Structure 1
Amino acid sequence: MLRLRSQAIACLLLGLLALGLPAQAPPPPADGGIGDLLVAPTRVVFEERKRSAELNLSNIGQSRATFRISLVRMEMDETGGIKELPFDPGTENLRSLFRFSPRQVTLDPRESQTVRIQVRKPAQLPEGEYRLHMTFRAVPPDAPAPQSGAEAPKGIAIKLTPVYGIAIPLIVRHGKTSASVSITAPACDAKRGVLSFRLNRDGNQSVYGDLKATLLPAIGAPEVLAEASGLAVYTPNSGRTVALPIRGGRFVPAGSRIRITYSQPILDGGRLFAETVMTTP
């Protein structure tokens, strides 16, 4: 479930999108705002015979809000950051894969709306994976009209209106697609309290899963040191670097054994994608 809170957050909460985590901005200003938006599910995958899906949008804010829905092209970098790219002649036809309605919703507080999505594959679509992101951008309320008799401002005035938005991935898999994952170059920075490693992806489809780092003591029960849910590596990227903060700044002594796993989310089956065991220097 993704949550959009009315706050000046630079256009899109892209860093959170890279992890697939709930997008939540800082608390809203005292004068309220355009409302809070919940979106579920947070990603949609069309594979095998699946050709349609529904998203549920809910306004949990205190004011009426309008959101414009559109499709955008996004790319992931080596650290998992997501940025929006313009469509070009080679990617413009991706829009035709998806049809959705409505394209704009206005929700009163505690009101919900369903967005329906359909996928239409052309007859000669090459085998592989195709992806766009669906964005939900808040439409700023109209500026209040000037009061009668008020003196008109002199000179040039510029008003910057922030645009609020979140996005979720829409993925189409056509034909035979698969991916394999490996974890390499694990390291533990005890001073910073961070575990780092590289997550490698091979194949013609994206991967999406949960990370867990577990301390394996010689005596006693294993202890979870760090976790991250909903972490993706999108095609065509071959991988991404990951840094996980250790819980509570827990000190990890030299010679400790740590198991790092990357697994399918439990709701999707929980299959283990990759694991490695490291020993801290």
Structure 2
Amino acid sequence: MAVTSVIASEASLFLTPQSIIFDEKSRSQAVHVVNRGNRTGVFAIRWIDHTMTEEGRLFTWKEPDKSPWSLQPYVRYSPRRVTLRPGESQLVRIALKKPYDQVPIGEYFSHLNVVMLNKNVEESIRQQEEGSEEAEAGVFRVVARTGISIPVLWRHTRDQPAAEVEISQWNSSQQTLSLQVKRLGQVSTRGFLHVIYQQNGKEKRLLDPHPLVIYPNIDGRKVNLSLANRALAGGKLYVYYSADKEHWDKPLGFASIQL
């Protein structure tokens, strides 16, 4: 049986960069919205506010003004809706509002959300011109709107990301590691947990870098890592929380335990 690769005939959304951080030196930045599909798409650009639990679950604020960390009151942006043909891109400019010195010190964050309103404008036009048989028959379709969000932060403080890592429990029989990672200062932390096993002068990475974000609305995160099938005996475990996915030599925080 032959296998055929099928490319969907619709718009496809891509954003770059994957995150934006404003600091005391940057007042305006931009995001590229790219249509990588093969059909014209219509995209709406808006803001969403989230809050985080210690377990890492995210919840959306229904009313932005209820979030004391919302970036929305302090930024302006344009455009708010774009139509992009295949391969086209649009620059969305984001700027902080003045006056900066009247905003309380701290970190403010929201997610820039780009949602697809129409993934195939050509087909929509064709249906309008020819008349939809389904509409005449009283048939209605529910279309899910897909979108992408990226975090946008304003660090209106001199604090820099830092953390304290605590190994709260090591279960030798199940080979599981329980951690408490605490955020230090006023700003969020975004990085990766690296678990390194050291024995007889040799180091070995035990897990792929584990992503970990701590929003400023919580003091820290509880993390459980499984090292099953490693059969660790003796030696020492190091846990590094680093902003770098590949390297742990300049961590935001670290901890160790003797096995």
Query: What is the TM-score with the length of structure 1 in the denominator?
Result: 0.74
Aligned to 2:22: 46
In structure 1, the partner of 2:239 is 260
Q: Is the 8 A contact 2:75 2:94 kept in 1?
A: yes
Judging changes above 3 Å, is the alpha-carbon distance between structure 1 residues 229 and 61 closer, same or farther for their aligned structure 2 residues?
farther
97, 102, 106: which one aligns with 1:120: 97
| Counterpart position of 2:193 | 211
How many pairs does the alignment contain?
Answer: 246
Equivalent residues in 2 for 1:77-156 (5 A)?
77-87=53-63, 89-91=65-67, 94-122=71-99, 123-141=101-119, 144=127, 152-153=136-137
CA contact (8 A) 2:109 2:153 kept: yes
1:140 and 1:161 in contact (8 A); partners too:
no
- Among 37, 43, 54, the alignment partner of 2:13 is 37
What residue is the counterpart of 2:167 in the other structure?
A: 185
Residues of 2 paired with 1:32 and 1:202: CA distance? 46
C-alpha distance in 2 between matches for 1:56 and 1:272 = 31
From 62, 67, 81, the counterpart of 2:38: 62
Sequence identity, in percent? 25
| Matched residue type, 1:107 | L
Instruction: Give 1:273 deviation, angstroms.
Output: 1.1
Cα gap change, 1:121/1:270 in structure 2, threshold over 3 Å: closer, same or farther? farther
Per-residue Cα deviation, 1:91-141 (whole angstroms, up to 9, x for no partner): 498423111111122222222222111111444211111111100111135
Amino acid at match of 1:70: R
Cα displacement (A) at 1:208: 1.5
Distance (Å, rounded) in 2 between the aligned partners of 1:263 and 1:150: 55
In the alignment, the residues of structure 2 paired with residue 96 and residue 150 of structure 1 have an alpha-carbon distance, to the nearest angstrom, of 44
2-side partners of 1:113 and 1:151: how far apart? 33
SS, match of residue 167 in structure 2: strand
TM, length-normalised to structure 2: 0.79
Secondary structure, counterpart of 2:183 in structure 1: strand
Letter in 2 for 1:65: G
Alpha-carbon displacement from aligned partner over 1:177-234 (angstroms, at most 9, x marks no partner): 3453111235456787754412111321111122211111226x31111133653211
User: How far apart, CA to CA, are the structure 2 residues paired with 1:199 and 1:94?
Assistant: 25
Per the alignment, residue 20 of structure 1 pairs with: none
Q: Distance in 1 between matches of 2:52 and 2:91?
A: 28
Seen in structure 2, the aligned counterparts of structure 1 residues 161 and 179 have a Cα distance that, compared at 3 Å, is same
Q: Which runs of 5+ in 2 are unaligned?
A: none
Number of the residue aligned with 1:23: none
1:82 & 1:204 partners in 2: Cα distance?
19
Structure 1's 216 and 103: CA in aligned 2 closer, same or farther, altered over 3 A? same
Contact 1:66 1:139 in 2 (8 A): yes
> 33-42 or 70-79: which moved more?
33-42
Q: Which residue of 2 aligns with 1:169?
A: 151
What RMSD over aligned residues (CA atoms) do the two structures have, in Å?
A: 3.3
- 1:226 is aligned, of 207, 225, 237, to 207
8 A Cα contact 1:38 1:60, kept in partner: yes
Secondary structure of 1:96's aligned partner = helix
Equivalent position SS for 1:272: coil
The reply to whether residue 240 of structure 1 matches residue 221 of structure 2 is: yes
Rg larger for: 2
Give the Cα separation in 2 of the matches to 1:197 and 1:227: 16
Does structure 1 retain, via aligned residues, the 8 Å contact 2:15–2:148?
no
* Cα offset, 1:251, TM superposition: 1.8
